[in-house]
Amino acid sequence: MINIKVKTVLLGNSKVGKTSLVRRFIENKFIDSDVSTIGGAFVSKEVFSSSYGEVSLCIWDTAGEEKYESVTRAFYRNANAAIVCYDVTCAKSWSRAKGWVSKLRQFEEKCVIYLCATKLDLIKEMSASKAVSEDVLSAYISSVNIKQHFETSSKSGENVDIMFKTIANDYIQLNKENFAEYENLCLTSNDSEKTCCFKFF
C-alpha cells in the first residue's frame, strides 16, 4: 500500500475565509475571528482509504494580505491542487482570485485549480447579492480550465467537506496509471514488506 499525499494550497484575498475553510474541514468548527494568517500555515488530514492506500491532504493555508504575496510563491510551488478563494459578495476578491489563477497557470502548469466562492450563508441568510454573475463565472471557468467551482460556507459547513474530498478523489483518478505502475514495481521487487511514501511534489 502507498501513502499518498496531495499538496493542496489555498490562495485568495485577505479575509475571504481561507483559514475558516481549513478549520471547518479539520476541526468541524467555525470561529468568527479577525486574526489574519501571517506567512502561511500547514495542516494535514487523512481523507480516505483508496485501493492504492491512505490518501492525505497536505494543506497550505496562505496569508492573503498583499505584503505576503512574494512569500506565497514558496507555498504553491509544486502544488498538486490549488483552491483559489473569493468572497461570494466581494468583487475585489474576485479580481484578486483571477490574478492568482493567472499566476498558477504561469508557474505551476500541472496544478489542478479549483475555484471556491466563500461565505455562501451571506447570500442565503442576509440576502446579500453575488459579486459575479453566473454568465461571467461560467465563461471564465471554461476559458481558464478550472477543474470545478464550489460555493461554500464555513459558517454552516455547506460544501466544505465535499470540496476537500473531491480534490483528493480527483487526484487519485488523474494519477491512477502512476499508482498502478508503482504497485507493479513493488510486487516485482523482493522485499516482503513495503513502507513507502508516494509523492508527486
Q: Which residues bind ligand GTP (CB under 6 A)?
A: 12, 14-20, 32-34, 36-37, 63-65, 118-119, 121-122, 153-155
Taking the alpha carbons of 101, 110, 40, 60 in that order, is the dihedral positive or negative? positive
Interaction of residue 37 with Mg ion, rule CB under 5 A = yes
Q: What are phi and psi of 20, to 5 degrees?
A: -65, -35
154 binds, among Mg ion, ligand GTP, none (CB under 5 to 8 A by kind): ligand GTP
Interaction of residue 19 with Mg ion, rule CB under 5 A = yes
Measured CA to CA, the distance from residue 191 to residue 185 in angstroms comes to 11
CB 11, CB 82: distance < 8 Å: yes
Nearer to ligand GTP by Cβ, of 53 and 64: the residue is 64
32 binds, among ligand GTP, Mg ion, none (CB under 5 to 8 A by kind): ligand GTP
Nearer to Mg ion by Cβ, of 40 and 137: the residue is 40
Binding region for Mg ion (CB under 5 A) out of 33-41, 71-79, 164-172, 188-196: 33-41
Tell which residue, 107, 124, 131, has the closest CA to residue 158.
124
Nearer to Mg ion by Cβ, of 37 and 156: the residue is 37
Measured CA to CA, the distance from residue 41 to residue 184 in angstroms comes to 36
Distance of CA 40 to the CA centre of its chain: 14
CB of 93 to ligand GTP, least distance (A): 9
Nearer to ligand GTP by Cβ, of 131 and 172: the residue is 131
Phi-psi region of 74 (alpha: psi -120 to 50; beta: other; left: phi over 0): alpha
Residues that bind Mg ion (CB under 5 A): 18-19, 37
